[in-house]
Structure 1
Amino acid sequence: MKKYVIAAMAALLILTGCWDERQFKNIKLVLSLGFDQGEDGQIVQTVSIPSVTRAIEGPGSESLQIISTSANTPLEARDKIDRMISETYDPAKVKVVVLGEDLAKNNIYPVLDDMYRNPRSNLNAYLAVVEEGTAQDVISMNHTGATRISNYIGGLLEAAVYSSHATGENLQLLCAELLEPGIDFSVPLLKTEDDGNLLTFNGMGLFHEQSYTGKKIGPEQTTMYMLLQGVKGRVARLTEKIDDSKKEEILDYVTVNVAENDRKMKIENKDGEIAVSINMDMKVKIVEYPSDHLYVKGRIEEINKKLSEKLTEESVDIINQLQEANSDVFGIGRRVKAYHPEVWKELDWSEAYPEISIEPKVKVEIIQHGIIN
């Protein structure tokens, strides 16, 4: 018995206990965080902080506090906000980080630097840019539905990922693309409508190096844009006009769900000239085809051909937009650096990328067309 007591006492000596414990009652959790370009080079930081009041019976009530302040750096702004609130500012549960368009067109890394250095920051947070507006407008908007603006924005972005409109990259995944040469990235664009009461996903904003280019892939093209990157959410739905001869406009369209997408990218060095080919073999299911008569011999093959042509044309258009924005979201430069280092050393990639040859080709195969003809 004595030896067990001695062992227990020895164990107590080496236990550290909860030395890093932070009790909820002593902190204020920031759930959404926004940055805008201020005056004289300063930045404006806006935060939303929920406060829950206990009830004697039943669930407590929740109120939302929105605070904005300007400062020279994000950390200085955080210290200012800390002096405006009870308890202590804590960024450990930040769900979304929103940037105003004017600020995003500058180098965004200095704005995010504190989040990457602070071990308590939540690097799983989404990053988004407000198109034609400010982050302050979005975080303080008078929205309906979800109590917290962080839930509203986060749910909107998660839905975009689910439906193959956005990549779903968080701050941690974007860090490498911010710092590594030879690869760029894109982030979701948000836009306020209905006099500031409604928020919509408005495409993917294209970045070059660490700055927003001001150019985007519109929401009607983002699904194909994701597929070109080899990204597919739970649902990938495409509606294409494949005819122009029907009596009613609606009969010219077909809608398909992408079941499988096999995307391959090949990079060749042709005497110092980089040429890229992107081939996609796509298996799809028809989910809407008002024109019907799919039982007619040769009709499925005809739609396969027309869809392949239309999606190849759309892919060419998307790639042209990427090269005009000088945004290498496919990471072509990274591959050139890895597999053709002698060519990479001779290139100024920012100058070379918009001029290289990138040829996409899409091949569609219909594998299912519903339970009617």
Structure 2
Amino acid sequence: MRKVTVFLLINTFLLSGCWDQRLYKELSVISVIGIEGHIGDIKSYFAYPSSNSDPTKYIVLEGTGKTLRETRIDANKKTEQTMDNAELTTLLVNEESAQKDLYALLDVYYRSAQSPMNAKVVITKGSPKKFLEIKDTSSKEIGEYYYDLITAFEDATIYPKTDLEIAANLMYSEGRDLGLPYLIISGDHGLPKGEGMALFNGKKYTGEHLTLRESIFAILLGYRKANFVELAYMWDKNEKKVQVGFNIIDFKKKKKIMQDGDNIKVQYNINMPIVLTEYPPNHLDQEDERKKLEKFIKGKVEKDIARMFKTCQEASSDVTGIGEDIRAYHPQLWREGKWKDIYKDLKIETKVNVDIVRSGSIR
């Protein structure tokens, strides 16, 4: 027993420490990165906290180069510490940069073992530098601010739950295209604002984006309802403007793909129970009044879905994943030609059944 104890004690002195340990005091921990330009002439912005006591204070380093790695090397020369992206939460990519090849811009992060694969990828209107100039308007650390902002949109069924890993898979997917959050700068204070979903065709941003409402239906049809869905419309009823607000309780969809010669039609049948959250006229205890309101909502939803698909088809962006069903259940259609050529000419019909299951406490 004594020999074993002595042997273990001697070995403790021979053990090496954590060979890859990194001390925070020696690092500039990057939480948000902005990218603009193209490979060959590119610029990156790196945001990291400058105060341990106040998380809202941060520094933005700017780096230029021919590659993303060069921009990081250039920015690193401007700080007394080594930059580290182990706590990266968000990548902001300029929309013009993403139109050429988004994967080429993100490759450096996929190849780094330190890069968190759950970091959000966002498309910005204009330079991402503007989106890093919100020091006086946010009470959070900037990385936390953007992560929470995008997560809130995901919970509201406006953006799909997407990160670096999911984005890479979808950029190489043949049956579904990538959709990413699209942000603009709005208001006097220059705050970031969600503007809809950026539509991709393969690895390239198409230059088109859905509205916030259209994005909701793209998520409902292509993925599933997240935590909640809120919608509101204005109804011209009897020459009066009436506000109609409701939450979608469930969104049950059935997809049917039909072929008649060279013509292919996709038909969605949707059952949508809702709870009414705003409707000043009341009288919803009367069946006739409820039926009229359900018919109005049905018409609005069907039109929004039709506009969503029209935008997606014109952009050759299959964010709802119709191609996945074609490839799995109709392989003969998949083999007949290029899927995107077929997709652009698809006839898509949507039939919605609205059911008001709750109308609030006042009747």
1:151 match: 144
Gaps of at least 5 residues in structure 1 are 54-58
* Structure 1 stretch displaced more, 134-143 or 257-266: 134-143
Deviation at 1:154, TM superposition (A): 2.3
Q: Which letter does structure 1 place at the counterpart of 2:26?
A: N
Distance 2:14 2:211 in 1: 58
Q: Indicate the residue corresponding to 2:220 in structure 1.
A: 227
Q: Which deviates more from structure 2 when the two are superposed, residues 223-232 or residues 67-76?
A: 223-232
- Separation in structure 2 between the aligned mates of residue 36 and residue 64 of structure 1, nearest angstrom: 20
2 CA distance for matches of 1:42 and 1:245? 59
Give 1:223-302 correspondences, 5 Å limit: 223-247=216-240, 249=241, 251=242, 253-271=243-261, 273-302=263-292
Change (3 A) 1:43 1:294: same
* Pairs aligned (count): 363
Instruction: Report the equivalent of 2:165.
Output: 172
TM-score (norm 2): 0.91
Q: Check the 8 A contact 1:223/1:238 in 2, yes or no.
A: no
Tell me, in whole angstroms, the C-alpha distance in 2 between the residues paired with 1:61 and 1:149. 8
Instruction: Say which of 88, 91, 96 aligns to 1:94.
Output: 88
**Would you say the 8 A contact 1:30–1:49 is kept in 2?**
yes
The letter for the 2-side match of 1:84 is K
Q: Call closer, same or farther: CA 1:216–1:7 in 2, change over 3 Å.
A: same
Matches within 5 A, 1:30-179: 30-37=30-37, 41-53=40-52, 59=53, 63-131=57-125, 133-179=126-172
The C-alpha deviation readout for 1:135-164, integer Å capped at 9, x for no partner, is: 122123454122533233223212212222
Per-residue CA deviations over 1:151-189 (Å, capped at 9, x if unaligned) read: 332232122122222113111111110112232121111
Structure 2 vs 1, CA of residues 294 and 18 (structure 1 numbering), >3 Å: closer, same or farther?
same
**TM-superposed deviation, 1:368:** 0.7
Moved more, 286-295 or 349-358: 349-358
How many percent identity over aligned positions? 27
Specify the code of the residue in structure 2 equivalent to 1:317. R
Q: Distance in 2 between matches of 1:292 and 1:343?
A: 50
| Alignment correspondent of 1:21 | 21
CA distance in structure 2 between the aligned counterparts of 1:153 and 1:171, rounded to whole angstroms: 15
1:207 equivalent to 2:200? Answer: yes
Q: Label 1:60 to 1:288 Cα distance change in 2 as closer, same or farther (>3 A).
A: closer
Q: In the aligned structure 2, how far is the partner of 1:263 from the partner of 1:96?
A: 33
**Alpha-carbon contact 1:206-1:215 (below 8 Å) kept:** yes
What whole-Å deviation, never above 9, does each CA across 1:89-118 have from its counterpart, x for those lacking one? 111111110011211211111000011111
Taking the aligned partners of 1:300 and 1:280, their CA distance within structure 2 comes to 19
Q: Which of residues 272, 296, 301 is equivalent to 1:306?
A: 296
Q: Which residue of 1 aligns with 2:318?
A: 328
C-alpha contact 1:129 1:205 (8 A) present in aligned 2: yes
Q: TM-score, structure 1 length as denominator? A: 0.89
Whether contact under 8 Å (2:160, 2:223) holds in the other structure is no
Q: Which residue identity lines up with residue 323 of structure 2 in the other structure? A: G
1:71–1:311 CA distance, 2 compared to 1 (3 A): same
> 1 CA distance for matches of 2:16 and 2:323?
48
CA apart distance, 1:51: 2.6
Question: 1 CA distance for matches of 2:20 and 2:257?
Answer: 50
Q: Is the 8 A contact 1:164 1:233 kept in 2?
A: yes
Could you tell which deviates more after superposition, 98-107 or 1-10? Answer: 1-10
* Aligned AA (1:44): K
For 1:328 and 1:102, the matched residues in 2 are separated by 20
Q: Secondary structure at the match of 1:352?
A: helix
The worse-fitting range, judged by mean Cα deviation, of 326-335 and 234-243 is 234-243
Alignment deviations for residues 257-304 of structure 1 (CA, whole Å, 9 cap, x no partner): 111111233334544654322222111101111111112233223322
Aligned to 1:56: none
Aligned residues of 2:88 and 2:119 also touching (Cα < 8 A) = yes
Residue 44 of structure 2 aligns to a residue whose secondary structure is: strand
Distance change (3 Å), C-alpha of 1:338 and 1:6: farther
Distance change in 2, residues 1:62/1:273 (3 Å): closer
Q: Which amino acid aligns with 1:219?
A: L
The 8 Å contact of residues 96 and 127 in structure 1, kept in 2 or not, is answered as: yes
Corresponding residue SS for 2:250? strand
1:162/1:233 contact within 8 Å kept? yes
Query: What's the CA shift for 1:315?
Result: 1.1
Residue segments in structure 2 that go unaligned for 5+ positions in a row: none
CA deviation profile, 1:190-239 (whole Å, cap 9, x unmatched)? 11123562221111111111111111111243323322223323220111
> Displacement of 1:240 after TM fit?
2.5
| 8 Å Cα contact 1:178-1:184 kept in structure 2 | yes
Deviations 1:20-43 (A, max 9, x none): 3221122211110011116x9411
Which amino acid in the other structure matches residue 329 of structure 2?
Y
**Greater shift in the superposed pair: 200-209 or 345-354:** 345-354
Change over 3 Å in CA distance of 1:263–1:20 after alignment to 2:
farther
What's the Cα RMSD here? 2.6
CA contact (8 A) 2:57 2:135 kept: no
Q: State how far apart, in whole Å, the 2-side matches of 1:100 and 1:62 are.
A: 24
How far, CA to CA, are the matches of 2:16 and 2:58 in structure 1?
Answer: 37
